[in-house]
Structure 1
Amino acid sequence: MNKRNDTWRQRLSWLGLALGLTALAGCSSSSDSRYDLKDDVAPSAPISVDHIEGAVPKYEPYSLGGNKSYRLRGKSYTVIKDPTGFTERGEASWYGKKFHGHLTSNGEVYDMYSMSAAHKTLPLPSYVKVKNLDNGKETIVRVNDRGPFHDGRIIDLSYAAANKLDVIKTGTANVEIEVIIVEKPSSQHELSKHPEYTIQVVASPHKDRIDNLSKQLSEKLSVDTFLTPVNKNYRLMLVPFKDYKQTQDVLEQVQKIGYPSAFVKKL
């Protein structure tokens, strides 16, 4: 990464924390006219999200930003301190291209191809199982943003999550959400273990094409690659990384060279 990118990343990190602390980032900003579902749109050239799996729950300490109770549009919201056993029914909506690349309430960058969501009062981040009561489909999302602030709506799904639940066509859906609690590791030994991450670039039934792409990426990115057969598809994976920041740096390179739906998986 060059010096310009490092500077940009530092500024983004600072800005994310500042916005998150006031709970005004992402879709929760009262001064940001982008937040209006009727004006939001799916990607102009949608990328298949069939290969993207639900978020994998893991223990994460709550974010420094976005977890204070706040007031918005004349209404007060109290962030839940202990979401154990939390369930809720109501309408789900989704947000996509209009917010893609903007900051979420906890200072992360919103990626419409990630399995994420926004909720008004759950602590950030939280893992939530979402069931579409209209068709029975369900998936798991990671809540890292605030919203939706429309009456009756309880959760805003990313484009990828909404696609999984068939909410894109209808715009909204009746859902039930349930918080998934992952307990903090009980020992210092467990806390010190380094998790491994891998990057899934693409999935395809054409093994010869995947093989060629695998070699090209290995040379271009100076990383090892491997294929994982799943059903009739082959998943192109980049070798496990122990450092999460390094994983994100490589993911950014992969997305810039033409694979924006690539994503990180924890092993």
Structure 2
Amino acid sequence: METGIRDIVLKWTAVVVAATWIIGCGGSATKPSPPPPAFPKAPAKKPSVTSPKKATQRPYKVGRNWYQPIPHAHGFTQKGIASWYGKKFHGRKTSNGEIYNMYAVTAAHKTLPMDTWVRVKNLDNNRSIDVRINDRGPFVRGRIIDLSYSAAKRIDMVGAGTARVEIFALGAAASGEPSSKRPPAFVPVDYNKGNFTFQVGAFKERKNAERLRQALDRRYKNAHISEYDSPDGLFFRVRVGRITDLAQAEAYEQILIEDGFNQAFIVAE
């Protein structure tokens, strides 16, 4: 890893904008009324699940913020707050094109590859559930995973709405297995090696990207521009550095986060 890269990328930061979902309910005070249904009963015929699309690793934008899915999930662990989503999104499309089913054991994560299976452990009661990532989110500060209603119920966090959890990546569904079913075995893949770099800026005007690239190129190796044609138009992404070990790349990324600059991120090229 090139020394001194941190001093350059620290200037390129952004504030993560979060959004919250609020669910309210009420009742009549003038006469007794039947208890409100907490959640709808499972339909006789659950929504069908469309054939899942190949997991995309393209960066995506929510609000003013860009997110870069990580290239691999091997060895991934994370602690934080889990939330859940249910009937409001039941029957809608997920980020990978499936139909969200609140009674399935699935989850949303901002950066894990689609169809990754993860174990979610509720740190308050030690209950755990294995879920498959098929959606993106939650885009709320401090939350790391959004569970389906069924998954949240199994680790007893529906009532509270959120819970302190730890998640462990297990692997990807074995080839030929239906992606909506937990496979009996996971595919062992070595995700630790590759060509990893850091993205430090993205611009709509090439001249701005070139100005940064030239500044980086005077001091560091592998300063380059990568074009990305997004739905919002063409972006010129400025990247720097070259690391072949994922653990080293993650360690350096953590240094940036601890220093308060979390917009530089790992990219697999």
Structure with the largest fraction of helix: 1
TM-score by length of 1: 0.48
